[in-house]
Structure 1
Amino acid sequence: MTAVLPQQPETGTYTFQSKPRAVQGRAKYRFQLDENEGPIPYGNIMYDRRIVRGNTYAQNTLPVSAQPDPIEIQRQQEIRRRAIAKKRAKEQLRTRSPDAVEGRKHIEVQTELYLEELSDRIEEADVDTQTDSFLDRPPSPMFVPAKTGKDVATQILEGDLFDFNLEVKPILEVLVGKTLEQSLLEVLEEEELSNLRQQQREFEELRNAELVEMQRLEEQERRHKEEKERRMKQQREVLKKEKETAEKIAARAFAQSYLADLVPSVFSTLRDNGYFYDPVERDVEQGFIPYIMDEVVKKIDKTILGRTMLDEIIRDVVKQRYTMFSENASKVPISESQSLNASQQT
């Protein structure tokens, strides 16, 4: 469809700049239909005569590079030449009237005694008749067609007729000469074709022999090339393995020389940093001692909690005794209170 952009006028409705329509198909003929004259032919490959339908395997398709056989072309030319020669011979052997004298022309006329009108349809009529059965049937008269047309006469002057024996001699000489010439040409063509076929057979034999020799040389060259590539590949693998072995030996020797002084220093450093330890001592430090410390902390927490509870109980009892004593002291006389204080002081 044609690309259009909607526009919004002041009324608020959407319209298109051009009316949407289907893509116009290519015209089948040279002229192009107009929209006003009738429906536009749309493109549909189902109705295109150039589309091949059905099985295409049976079609005789020649490759682009294929060339016609020269022998087949010569054979077709020979058949066409023979047909043309035969047609010319038939035309020459056909009996023809001599050419008309200057100022006259030949006209086809009927030479029968009774002329009849020639038409595309013969006139027919149905007639019924009844005869007496006791009378003998008369003999049927000879049919004489009705005479139609006009009688035309032709006057021949003396000297217009030709002498057949005299006139036929050059024609016969020409026919015989042409026939002999055509026969000689055909014989020469057959000999030439036979020579061409012989040369073609020799050429094909030579070409086949050269093709076999070329294939043998190509196969020998291919085997030599494969053998060369295989040997080169084996040699490359041997050199690669030798190089890898030398590199491994050098790396191993370098590692040994480098690690000879490195291993003692590493072990001493690890030992100083505590990476090598006694498992029993490590187990006691990380397992037993933390357990003992946790149990001691729990025990101390329980003791502190018991002491705190006991202090609270004692404090409550003291508060109660103090409250009771204060109440009793307010009720006792002064003398008794003094004696009670003295007893408490003692």
Structure 2
Amino acid sequence: PNDLEIQRQREAQKRALARKHAEEQMQQRTPEPVEGREHVHVQTELYLEEISDRIIEVDMECQTDAFLDRPPTPFFIPAKTGKDVATQIEEGELFDFDIEVKPIVEVLIGKTVEQALLEVMEEEELAQLWARQRAYAELRNAELAEVQRLEEQDRRYREEKERRHRQHMQMLQKQKETTEKIAARAFAQHYLADLIPSVFNNLRDSGYFYDPIERDIETEFLPWLMREVEETLERKVLGRMMVD
């Protein structure tokens, strides 16, 4: 047997074993039928299917007709139209090539030489133009370099001038500040020279600066003395009035 037949036999054995195992399970789960009855295998699916160990197989064959080769396509030959006409030309009737070609060759040579001269002149003119262009470019580059050098020099001069101007302005500002400080100091000294004595005099006149002994005499002794004198005078006046 071939491999296909062996595979079919194995599949049939597997299906038989599966069916046997299912029957054993059903026999174990299903109780024994009562007397006079027996169990029957019934399909409960929607579509019934015939169960068999071997699937029915049928071999069919089909044969097509032999392919016929296509014949080669004939060449297309258009239909002939018009009328054939012929003429006869004898030797020397048309022209003599050596004689007739001479002016044509002269014209061709003249045109070729003229074109060559024009091309040479054009090349020389282009060479002169390129030389002038190179000279102009060199001169222009030199002028640009000189302009850049002059601009850089002018920039350095301007920066140096601005720096010197800033230094001069800073020096003038410092001199002005120094002069103002000196003037302010002199004015303050002159103003304070008269201010301090006048302030002390005003404070002294206002009583902020005093002699303790003099102040004690003025506030304690003199009032007591005046009271004693007044009392003595009053007693004397009273004694005189009583004597009178």
**TM-score when scaled to structure 2?**
0.45
Higher helix residue share: 2
Higher relative contact order (CA 8 A, sep 6+): 2
Q: TM-score, normalised by structure 1?
A: 0.33
